[in-house]
Structures are given as C-alpha cells and as structure tokens.
Chain A
Amino acid sequence: MPLVIPDISLSIAAPEVGLAILICVVVVADLFTSMENKAGMGILSLAGVAILGLIVLFQWGGGVRTTFSGFYIADNFSSFVKMVVVVTTAFTILLSLQYAKMEKINYGEFYVMILFAVFGMLVMASGNDLISIYLGLETMSISSYVLVSFIRHDPLSREAGLKYFLMGAFTSGILLYGIALTYGLTGATSLTEIAKALSGLQGAAIIADPVMVFSLILFVAGFGFKLALVPFHMWLPDAYTGAPTSITAFMSVAVKMATLAAVIRVFFIAFPALAGKWNLLLWLLTVFTMVWGNVAAIAQTNLKRMLAYSSIAHAGYIMLGIVTTTKIVGGKVVFTPDGISAVLFYLVAYMVTNLGAFGMLIYLCREDFRGDNIEDWRGIGQDHPWAGMAFVVFFLSLGGFPPTAGFVGKLFLFGTAIQNEYYWLAVIGILASAVSIYYYFRVVMVMYMEPRGESQPAIEFSKAPSIFVALLVLVLATIYLGLFPGSIIAAAKSSVAGLL
C-alpha cells in the first residue's frame, strides 16, 4: 500500500491554529497570575479574540478552499459564521470581566473554557465531513457543560449543568448512530461524497431504503436537541436559567450559530436528494417551536427563564428560514439562496439583541442580588430612564418592531416564506410573534408603570465600564442594523452564493 501524504495547509485553517495557540498562551499565563488579577486573563483572551477576528476577516472572499483531506473547508459561509461567533465571544468576555468577580467564578479556566467552546464552533463552521462536524460539536458541547455548571457553589448552576450534560450526551449518541447508518449506506463520511452516493440510479435505491429515512430522522432529532427545537427543548430553559448569565448569552447566540452552520451544511450539501423528507420533518418542528416557545414564555415570572423560552421561539423563526429555502418547482426540489441569507442576517440581528438583553441582566446584577425576576425591574424606567430605554430597544428588536434589527430580520424571513409559497408557515410565524409582543411588553410595563416596592432593594447598576461600553455598542448596533442593514445583507448573500 503506497503511503499517501495528506494535503495539509495550515494557512487555510489559520483561525483554528491561531485560536489553539491563544488557548495555550492563556492556560500557561493563568498559572502565573494571582487570584486577584484573573480578570487579566479575560483581557488577554479579548485581545486574542480581536486578532482572531482580523484573521477571519482576512479570509473573507478567498474563495472555496479545502484542506486536511477534505475534512476542512474555508469559504465565505464559514467566514461569516466564524465572524458572528468571534464577535459574540468578544462581547461575552466583556460582559464577564466584572460579572465573574461578582459570582465568584473569576478563574482563568472560565475564559479558557469559553475559548475551547469557540474552537469547537470554528471547526463546526468549517466542517466538510461528518467526522469533523461531530468532533467540533463535541468540543463545543463538552466545554459548554463545564461553563453551565461553573458556579460550583450555586445549586441551580450545578443542576443546570447535570441536566444539560445528560441531555447533550444522549443527543450525541443519537446523532452518532445516524452518522454510522449513513456511513453504512453510502460508504462515505465526507459531505460531498455522501451527496454523490445518494445521486443517480444507485442513490435512488439507497433513498428508498427505510434505514436511510431512519438515519435522517436521527439526524433531525440530534440537531433538533442541540438547537432546542420543540419537542426536544426540555433542557434549554433549565440550562439557561442556571448558567452564569454571560454564558447564557454566549450559548443562546454562538452555540446556535455554529450548530446551524453544521445543519445547513449537512442537510443542503450532503442530503439534497432527501430534501422532500427532511423538509417536512423540519416544517413540523418549526411550527411546534414557534408556537410553544412563545406560549410557554407568557407564564414565566423569571426574566432569565422568559428570555430562555423566547430564544426557543427565535430558534423557530431561524428554522423557518431553513425550511423555506427549499422550493418545489414542477415536482423538482430547488434551493433558493434567499432563505439561508435571511437566516444569516437574522442571526446577526439576534446576536446584538440577545447579547444586549442578557447584558441588561448582568448590568443590574450585584453580589447579593441577582435581579433576574421580572418584578426586580419595577420602577426602573422612572428612576433610570436611559437604562430603561436600552432595555426597551432590545425588547422592540426581539418583538420585531421597526426601526430595530429584529424587524428587518423578521421581514426577510417572512418575506422569503411568502415568496416561496409557504403561506401557512408565514401566518403561524406572524401570529406567534404577535403573541411574543405580549410577554416582552409586560416587562416594559413593569419597568415603567409599576412603582418600586418598599421591600425591594434600591436599584444600583454595575459601575464597570466594560459592561457599560458593551451595552452601549449593542444598543447602537441594534438600531443601526434596523436602519442600515444593507452591508450585512450583502455579506450574507455573498456567503450563501458559493454554498448552494
């Protein structure tokens, strides 16, 4: 057997290589830092992440390149996803710098685990093979189990960690069985090879095989768990409530973004031949997710938990974009790029909005007072009009009102749905998002209409400049994307262009 030297070009995988170096640097530097100065690790990670952002930006527009024997692909789509992940990470670290001190989790490992999770996400964004996607997914998940249960002295956080871990590990088992069956039927794990095996006459026989359909269901269930689509969402409210708030913000954006990148690649690149089948499954999950996420959020009294349910609902809107990408023209399945570019834009809008909403919770948080119940926000609109206004902007964007980013995002998503003749899905989505206005504005009402109770502690926002700067940027970005979405939309369109 001849020895084949695989083609490995590290420059194509520069973001991952750079991040791996950064992780090593932070781990080692952490050893020489005293307990009081651990925030320095955060600043070091932040600087590293900023350089990482530049590397990713530099890769934009470099065309489609693969390396590591086709395991790794670098194209505009992966660069777009990585950019969102990197920006989310930067904001997460900014929000954590002081918050970690308050929650007494100010260890260097906190930032290291975030970076490990980011490493997994970058690999997922560039995964061109079921093996690399699986490994990225696991690197991301295992790091997030640790991050969720990071507040060791808080029973809520430990419990959230256990639940997230058990559900997550179970899910990877399910997903893996799907991967194994697909490998068995097609003889390949590379996404393009699978697509090749499923096309043509021989492919028609495999597609008709019930085992293939079963493996597709396992894929949908596995990814559905990770994205928390109803009915696979049970872990999410618990994990999001118990986790440190900055980690909740991180997971609600970055983990979703990376998983979605993997979902898009697997379903659109590897299984286009089965589009009719998975589209139907995802259609059902989308409807359940949009409806149940919004309905269950109404009953919540804990703001963090309410935002957790709202993020389930938003996962539903995002899946709506994935479903509506598939269009049937004359009995043949066609992919229209509008759906995915709408999804990518929506994720950017959702990133600035959701990071901001969770950031407001961190802003109010003090050592002896978490402030994540809705009634803790009583009277804040009257006493602190600017902070109240910031929160209102985020709620407007989450509810989809102009002139915010969320409005443009929803406009595109529902516009694509109508354009590709998914009328029912659009109607259900719009009705569901009308329901969401009720619970978002209940918080606004509590902030502005209800006076602060006698027994409630006085409002005292965090004085850390890092949190203030992060929130200011997020508010401005939310409004800016609502008024001038053009550049991000163009970027989203060009990142999809090379994909489908």
Chain B
Amino acid sequence: MVPLSHYLALGAVVFVIGAAGVLMRRNAIIILMSIELMLNAVNITLVGFSRQWGDLTGQVLAIFVITVAAAEAAVGLAILISLNRDRSVLNVDEVNLLKW
C-alpha cells in the first residue's frame, strides 16, 4: 500500500509546479494549463486524505473539483478565443490596454 505521505508529497510538488507556472509563464494557455495542474494536485491530496480517514467526503469534493475545472476551462477558452478574434495575442504581457 502506498503510504499517505507519498500522495501528499506528489500533491504538494504538482501544486507548486502549477503555481510557479501561473506566476512565471506568459502564455495564457500555459497559464490555464498550470491552473489545471493546481486543481489536480488538490484532487490528489483530497483523495489521499480521503483514504487515510476512510470517509468519502474528500472523494466527493474531488469529483466536484473536476466538474468545476471543466466549466472553468470552457469559459476560459471562450474568453481567450474572443480575445484572439481580431488580434493574435497569447502573451499576457501584451494584454495591456488597462493599466494601473
């Protein structure tokens, strides 16, 4: 059996990779992917804890998170497409009409 600490360590590492991706990468789609990484790291953590405690609440929340992530990706990609209609911008540094 895989001990809890493995789940938690994997979750923490993936979460940090995701958070670092959001803060450091400048491509909007990669930022979106990094956010998904963060959410999946949370899911790993939740499922690990759920197994540890022997109750299903964590797994229920994990399924909700997956659903919400799907909705979020749909809306996010739609916003990106509408932003790209007239000018091809993926770099978030170029999205700078509004400042300060």
Q: Is the CB of A187 within 8 A of B55?
A: yes
Q: A179-199 vs B: 1/0 string, CB under 8 Å?
A: 111011001110000000000
The 8 Å CB contact of A159, one of B53, B64, B86, B95, is B95
Known: A134-B61, A134-B64, A242-B98. 10 other contacts (CB 8 A): A149-B82, A152-B82, A158-B82, A162-B28, A162-B92, A162-B95, A173-B18, A180-B61, A184-B48, A187-B49
The answer to whether the Cβ of B68 comes within 8 Å of any Cβ in the partner chain is yes
Which 8 pairs of residues, A with B, have the shortest CB-CB distance? A173-B38, A184-B49, A238-B98, A180-B45, A176-B42, A187-B53, A138-B68, A169-B35
Residue of B at shortest CB range from A175? Answer: B42
Residues of chain A within 8 A of B39, CB atoms compared: 172-173, 176
Q: Which residues of A contact B58 (CB under 8 A)?
A: 180, 183
- Listed residue (B28, B49, B68) with the most chain A CB atoms within 10 angstroms of its CB: B68
| Complex Cα gap A242–B99 (Å) | 11
* B35 and A163 form a contact (CB under 8 A): no
A161 interface residue (CB < 8 Å to B): yes
Contacts of B60-100 to chain A: CB distance below 8 A: 60-61, 64-65, 68, 71-72, 75-76, 78-80, 82-83, 86, 92, 95, 97-98, 100
Q: Which residue of B lies closest to A177 (CB)?
A: B42
Look across to chain A and name the residue whose beta carbon is closest to the beta carbon of B15. A177
Chain B: which residue is nearest A309 at the CB level?
A: B100
Q: Which residue of A lies closest to B41 (CB)?
A: A177
Interface: A142 (CB within 8 A): yes
Residues of A within 8 A of B (CB): 130-131, 134-135, 138, 142, 145-146, 149, 152, 155-156, 158-163, 165-166, 169-170, 172-174, 176-177, 179-181, 183-184, 187-189, 237-238, 241-242, 296, 299
Counting chain A CB atoms within 10 Å of each CB, the highest count among B48, B55, B58 belongs to B58
8 CB < 8 A contacts A-B = A160-B98, A162-B80, A166-B22, A176-B38, A177-B15, A180-B46, A180-B58, A183-B58
Q: Are B68 and A166 in contact, CB atoms less than 8 angstroms apart?
A: no
Contact status of A165 and B79, CB under 8 A, knowing A173-B42, A237-B100, A241-B98: yes
Q: Write the nearest CB–CB distance from B17 to chain A, whole angstroms.
A: 12
Q: Write the chain A residue with the least CB distance to B11.
A: A180
B98 & A135 in contact (Cβ 8 Å cutoff) = no
Given A156-B98, A180-B45; A169-B57 close (CB under 8 Å): no
- Complex Cα gap A30–B21 (Å): 41
Q: Which of A130, A138, A166 contacts B71 (CB under 8 A)?
A: A138
Q: Are A162 and B49 in contact (CB under 8 A)?
A: no
Contact B38 A170 (CB under 8 A): yes
Q: Contacting A180 at CB < 8 Å: which of B32, B42, B80?
A: B42
Of listed A142, A145, A183, A241, residue having the most chain B CB within 10 A = A183
Given contacts A145-B75, A152-B82, A189-B57, contact A181 B45 (CB under 8 A): yes
In the assembled complex, how far is the CB of residue A209 from the closest CB belonging to chain B, in whole angstroms?
13
Most chain-B Cβ atoms within 10 A of its Cβ — which of A145, A158, A188, A242?
A158
Q: Hey, which chain B residues are within 8 Å of A156, CB to CB?
A: 97-98
Q: How far is the CB of A279 from chain B (nearest CB, A)?
A: 26
| Contact status A173-B92, CB under 8 Å | no
Which residues of B are found within 8 Å of A165, using beta-carbon distances?
A: 75-76, 79
Q: Is the CB of B45 within 8 A of A155?
A: no
* Inter-chain contact B57/A176, CB cutoff 8 Å: no
* Contact yes or no, B15 A161, CB < 8 A: no
Chain B positions within 8 Å of A149 at CB level: 79, 82
Q: How far is the CB of A176 from chain B (nearest CB, A)?
A: 5
Give CA–CA (A264, B100) in the complex, Å. 30
What residues on B are CB-neighbors of A142 within 8 Å?
68, 71-72, 75
Distance (whole angstroms) from the CB of B75 to the closest CB of chain A: 5
Which B residues are CB-close (under 8 A) to A237?
Answer: 98, 100
**A368 smallest CB distance to B (angstroms):** 19
Residues in B whose Cβ lies below 8 Å from that of A166: 22, 28, 31-32, 35, 76, 92
Complexed CA–CA distance, A460 and B71 (Å): 42
Instruction: Please give, as numbers and ranges, the residues of chain B lying within 8 Å of A161 by CB-CB distance.
Output: 79, 82-83
A residues less than 8 Å from B11 (CB atoms)? 180
CB distance from B3 to the nearest CB of A (A): 14
Chain A residue numbers with a CB within 8 Å of B52 are 184
Decide if A173 touches B19 in the complex (CB within 8 Å). yes
Question: In the complex the two chains form, is A189's CB within 8 Å of B35's CB?
Answer: no
CB distance from A136 to the nearest CB of B (A): 11
Complex-state Cα separation, A465 to B74, whole angstroms: 38
Report chain B residues within 8 Å CB of A183: 46, 49, 57-58, 61
User: CA of A58 to CA of B61 in the docked complex: distance in angstroms?
Assistant: 32
- Within 8 Å by CB of B35, from A131, A170, A299, lies A170
Distance, CA A396 to CA B78, complexed state (A)? 41
B47 → chain A closest CB, angstroms = 10
Whose C-beta in chain B lies nearest to the C-beta of A193?
B57
Closest Cβ of chain A: how far from B81's Cβ, in Å? 10
Q: Which residues of A lie under 8 Å from residue B97 when comparing CB positions?
A: 155-156, 159
A176 and B95 in contact, given A149-B82, A183-B58 (Cβ under 8 angstroms)? no
Nearest residue, chain A, Cβ from B57: A189
Say how far A266's CB is from chain B's closest CB, in angstroms: 15
* A169–B73 CA distance with the chains assembled, in angstroms: 9
**B79 adjacent to A158 (CB under 8 Å):** yes
Q: Bound state CA distance, A454 and B22, in angstroms?
A: 48
Task: Give the CA-CA distance A52 to B2 in the complex, in Å.
Answer: 51
- For the complex, give the distance between the alpha carbons of A146 and B42 in Å: 25
CB pair A159 B46 closer than 8 Å: no
